[in-house]
Amino acid sequence: MFLKPQGNEPTETMPLVPKYINELSPYTPGKPIDEVKRELGLEKITKLASNENPLGPSPLALEAIRKAEERLHRYPDASGFKLRQKLAQRFNVKIDNVILGAGSEGIMATIMRTFLLPEDEIITALNSFIGFTVLARGSGKRVHWIPMKDHRYDLEAMASCINEYTKIIYLANPDNPMGTYCTVDEFDAFMEKVPERVLIIMDEAYFEFAQPISDYPDSMHYRYDNVITLRTFSKAYGLAGLRIGYGFAHDQLISNLLKVKLPFEPSLLAQSAGMAALEDVYHLDKTIQITRDGLSYFSDELSRLGIDYIPSVTNFITIKWPTPERCDEVCQKMIEEGVILRHLKPFGWPDCLRVSIGIHSENEPCVSTLKEIL
């Protein structure tokens, strides 16, 4: 039945909805600034919860958006030609190796729709990126959730779980929400055990932050035919609100993904902004520098306060509390003081809080509020 305007009594289970969808918990995003302002009557809020770029979008991207506005009555280029060509040149591949999507999550969703047969199985890490967890659960396929070891992907355990039905293995490198990464040696050893019929989704949403680390495996340096590399404009490029990401893979994987992908994503504004953001090396470098400084500021301060954290190579840092209750308490008190952090209970880490790295004027009040609370 449809709910009557005044009534919201629970409905009985709708027979059209598959059991695995019915049981799915929806994605729980970080609390929006306006909601916290409204609920607590606060004027000033510091939001360090969603791993966004604290510098905002690149000014060049904003200018490109303004110019593109005049063409908003037109559909975007369905082939995303100019941006795909630019990415192909930048990463030294052919345009046929490049795909665009509404965020890298949009491409992940297309991958799931394109390659999975009813009997196929998925392997991924337990309590890793929540976006993929929702996609995997929503696919209705059998998923092997491999626990992390010391807050890192256990690639050996993942490889030993491969069977004749395995079709997709998802790796976030670096991982969100732990901020840890698997090394070149670990990745090489893992790939030796993966048959070519298994597709690896290599989610490198935080690539730009991890790239300088000498033993971080940049998957674009490998030419495995069964690896699809996903990257995004949402983090280092500061365009999360526009929803634009990109991926690289073998041309036959890309050509089939292009058949299934929604034709007009990413939007016209997103494609234009992406083109310009790639040109804005200054903004990218500044973002990486500020993030690096912020990470070391947090690491030093947390160590000084005796707070346990997981060393990170991304634009966020995860703090571990002695108990889930203490974690709830700190998260709530921080919100009351106007600092929004991300509680990691929905990710499966009820004793952890994730702090996104901001600019210094955001990081500093976060640390001083933590000090007061402690």
Binding site for ligand PLP (CB under 6 A): 51, 103-105, 129, 131, 172, 176, 203, 205, 232, 234, 240, 245
Q: Write down the least CB distance from residue 37 to ligand PLP, Å.
A: 23
Closest to ligand PLP by CB, 129 or 153: 129
Q: Write down the least CB distance from residue 163 to ligand PLP, Å.
A: 26
DSSP symbols for 240-280: GGG--EEEE--HHHHHHHHHHS-TTPSPHHHHHHHHHHHH-
Closest to ligand PLP by CB, 211 or 323: 211
Closest to ligand PLP by CB, 144 or 231: 231
How many C-beta neighbours within 10 Å does residue 164 have? 8
Closest to ligand PLP by CB, 174 or 369: 174
What SS3 class is residue 293? Answer: helix
Q: Write down the least CB distance from residue 240 to ligand PLP, Å.
A: 6
Which residue's Cβ has the minimum distance to ligand PLP?
A: 103
Closest to ligand PLP by CB, 166 or 356: 356
Q: Write down the least CB distance from residue 10 to ligand PLP, Å.
A: 32
Q: Cis (ω within 30 of 0) for the bond into 322?
A: no
What SS3 class is residue 232? Answer: strand
Q: Write down the least CB distance from residue 236 to ligand PLP, Å.
A: 11
Q: How far apart are the first and last CA of the chain?
A: 50
Q: How far apart (Å, rounded) are the C-alpha atoms in residues 264 and 180?
A: 34
Q: How far apart (Å, rounded) are the C-alpha atoms in residues 141 and 169?
A: 13
Q: How far apart (Å, rounded) are the C-alpha atoms in residues 115 and 86?
A: 27
